[in-house]
Structure 1
């Protein structure tokens, strides 16, 4: 499904500002949900739900950042866009964990959250590469 969303958004003549604001909005959503107190969430009993959310957050972040960087640079070679998106996602995830430890009293830094962020970023990169290969074959 995500591949089809990438196809649709990639083929539209969307100004690069749309991708920028989508990536910026998603970054803000991640920051909000990672820094606020979430003790009253009813799904707290689901095992490792927190890690799945981190994977999802960074998967989507990679796709949005990739689309922005590709549109912004008009890149024919998407390797630089993938690397830039990946580095942004990983550094942003580490920064959020540091902010949780330093600036909140209800949240704490977790190495496993960083690993989940990296896994989500790798998953996003894999989908982008597979999609890119699939479109070049056609």
Structure 2
């Protein structure tokens, strides 16, 4: 008897991943060239960490971060103002039937990594992990 997978959460499809990566690379290239008519974007370096496309590929969330600790609010405002131009430029470079609507969010991946490192370096956590490693396995006894 096969199990129904409808109740299990599924990750993004291969198509979503491919389109997200295509948008990420194209957006990174567009921002690095500085061809946009938004002065704030020309004055800052922006990292595009990840792009997540919806299953229907009509929307894409772009996770961005200003390099060198730039002002995140200024960057997001500038990207949102330039969104129609960015979308138009991406549509010209990508081989997609429709250019997805773009949403820009701050990439918090590095913050989460730093917090995880901090937690793992805590003395109590290290002691618990080491104690668990030394505990005998109880699967057959």
Q: What TM-score comes out, normalization by structure 2 length?
A: 0.29
Q: What TM-score comes out, normalization by structure 1 length?
A: 0.29
Point out the structure with the larger strand share: 2
Point out the structure with the larger helix share: 1
Q: Which has the larger radius of gyration?
A: 2
Structure with greater contact order relative to length (CA < 8 Å, sep ≥ 6): 1
